[in-house]
């Protein structure tokens, strides 16, 4: 949920919480990038319709959209919104649920670490490659994957430390629904 927590009023020491400001910044950045994508597409298509094409509009929109998707994926993961098929695991005893959840978390963290490890050299090797007529570096696009994976590692570790192994993989909305 992209807007989760953006407009909530915090009180006392919660306002000083570093993660609160980090989460707000990331959510607003994702919204701004999505707005920039829409605005770029609108300007580009309008300019093309009146006979004055906006060179590089599609490439700029692609760049903004990719970063929007990466930030959105991190925000979704932070709220436990990853795909989870738990028809079998919820029927297991709690120790086995912990074991399977722990295995899933290790595999997720390992995969994200591999994306960072292999994605950074890829982004650096693409830095000199121009992206279409926009003149932007293709490295900006390829950098989104390792940066997004690093953000997801931080978000996943935050969930594990705050909620524990089994609840870290359950969406926040599901926990709220079960509690009420």
User: Residue 140's CB: how many other CB atoms inside 10 A?
Assistant: 15
The dihedral sign for the CA sequence 160, 100, 95, 82: positive
Tens-digit pLDDT profile for residues 134-168: 778 889 999 999 999 999 999 999 999 988 887 87
Beta bridge mates, 137: 130
Q: State pTM to two decimals.
A: 0.80
Comparing CA positions, the residue from 43, 33, 37, 45 lying closest to residue 71 is 33
Pair 180, 154: CB distance under 8 Å: no
Q: What is the pLDDT of residue 174?
A: 61
Name which of 75, 56, 59, 51 is nearest 148 in CA terms: 75
Q: What six digits make up the tokens of 136?
A: 């932007």
Paired strand residues for 130: 137
* 12: alpha, beta or left? (left if phi > 0; alpha if psi -120 to 50): left
CA 75/CA 83 separation, integer angstroms: 14
Query: Whole-angstrom Cα distance, residue 103 to residue 95?
Result: 12
| Confidence at residue 81, expressed as pLDDT on a 0 to 100 scale | 80
User: What pLDDT, on a 0 to 100 scale, did the predictor assign at position 11?
Assistant: 46
Spell out, as residue ranges, where the chain has pLDDT lower than 50: 1-12, 15, 176-180
- Residue 40 in contact with residue 95, Cβ under 8 Å? no
**What is the predicted pLDDT for the residue at 100?**
87
């Amino acid at each position: 949920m992209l807007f989760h927590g953006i407009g909530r009023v915090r009180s006392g020491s919660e306002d000083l919480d570093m993660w609160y400001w980090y989460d707000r910044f990331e959510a607003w950045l994702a919204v701004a990038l999505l707005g920039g994508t829409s605005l770029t597409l609108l300007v580009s298509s309008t300019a093309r319709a009146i006979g004055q094409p906006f060179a590089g509009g599609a490439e700029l929109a692609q760049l903004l959209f990719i970063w929007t998707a990466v930030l959105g994926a991190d925000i979704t993961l932070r709220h436990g919104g990853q795909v989870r098929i738990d028809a079998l695991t919820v029927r297991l005893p709690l120790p086995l649920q912990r074991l399977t959840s722990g295995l899933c978390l290790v595999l997720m963290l390992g995969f994200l670490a591999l994306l960072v490890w292999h994605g950074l050299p890829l982004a650096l090797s693409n830095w000199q490659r121009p992206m279409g007529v926009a003149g932007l570096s293709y490295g900006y696009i390829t950098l989104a994957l390792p940066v997004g994976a690093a953000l997801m590692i931080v978000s996943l570790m935050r969930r594990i430390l705050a909620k524990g192994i089994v609840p870290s993989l359950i969406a926040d909305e599901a926990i709220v629904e079960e509690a009420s």
